[in-house]
A and B are shown apart, each in its own frame.
Chain A
Amino acid sequence: KQEVTQIPAALSVPEGENLVLNCSFTDSAIYNLQWFRQDPGKGLTSLLLIQSSQREQTSGRLNASLDKSSGRSTLYIAASQPGDSATYLCAAIGTGAGSYQLTFGKGTKLSVIP
């Protein structure tokens, strides 16, 4: 069974810092990996999706990388802003019978201090 772990569970940084969020998964036979953002009391917003054949994806100040062989993905946020404060979740999308099921990590709660 796929397990997804996110470290750290919470992170507080001053505005302007670059930061890295980590995501690890136990089964490397994934189809894709997706990063989401969740604001308090809200649903999830998709940030980046990395297909298994890709190494990384970029969107603005966000860059996500994927290393299937080591079972790891990272989300890099450049020049952090208070508006980046949210919980960030990664989700691994399985293959075969698990292809409809995203396995989520528990998230990293990010606070960017002005």
Chain B
Amino acid sequence: NAGVTQTPKFRVLKTGQSMTLLCAQDMNHEYMYWYRQDPGMGLRLIHYSVGEGTTAKGEVPDGYNVSRLKKQNFLLGLESAAPSQTSVYFCASSYTPPGYGANVLTFGAGSRLTVL
């Protein structure tokens, strides 16, 4: 049981380059999320999805796009990377809305992105 898998784990980009982070979950979860974690800032929600084909903006969506074409995958794209997007990105998923009942978020191991 792999849980939540993020690829790549590390990536270095130059300003203006584009890339896509892939999040895959094998738990049949409806809800998926992308967070970024920065020193001194805590984790902040970028985008989320409440089911296949849906996406919504979180707290810090600017500069990112997402897609959820398949239930098990949630892609985070950077069209034109900027140094301010240097961060550790975490994907998470849940069967129900976060905290509902006994279900909790399951996190991936993170993707460390550096933009030069």
Contact = CB atoms under 8 A, between A and B. Distances in A.
Contact of A105 (B31, B33, B42, B107): B42
Interface stretch (A37-45, A67-75, A76-84): A37-45
Contact of A46 (B50, B90, B100, B104): B104
A32 B41 CA distance: 21
Given A93-B99, A100-B98, A42 B104 contact: no
Interface string B37-55: 0001111110010100000
Interface string A62-106: 000000000000000000000000000101010000011110111
Contacts of A33: 99
B90 A43 contact: yes
The contact size tier of chain B is 20 to 34
Interface residues of A, number: 24
Interface of A: 4, 31-34, 41-46, 49, 51, 89, 91, 93, 99-102, 104-107
Given A43-B90, A101-B98, A106-B41, 11 more contacts: A31-B100, A34-B104, A42-B110, A44-B92, A51-B101, A100-B31, A101-B48, A102-B43, A102-B105, A104-B42, A104-B44
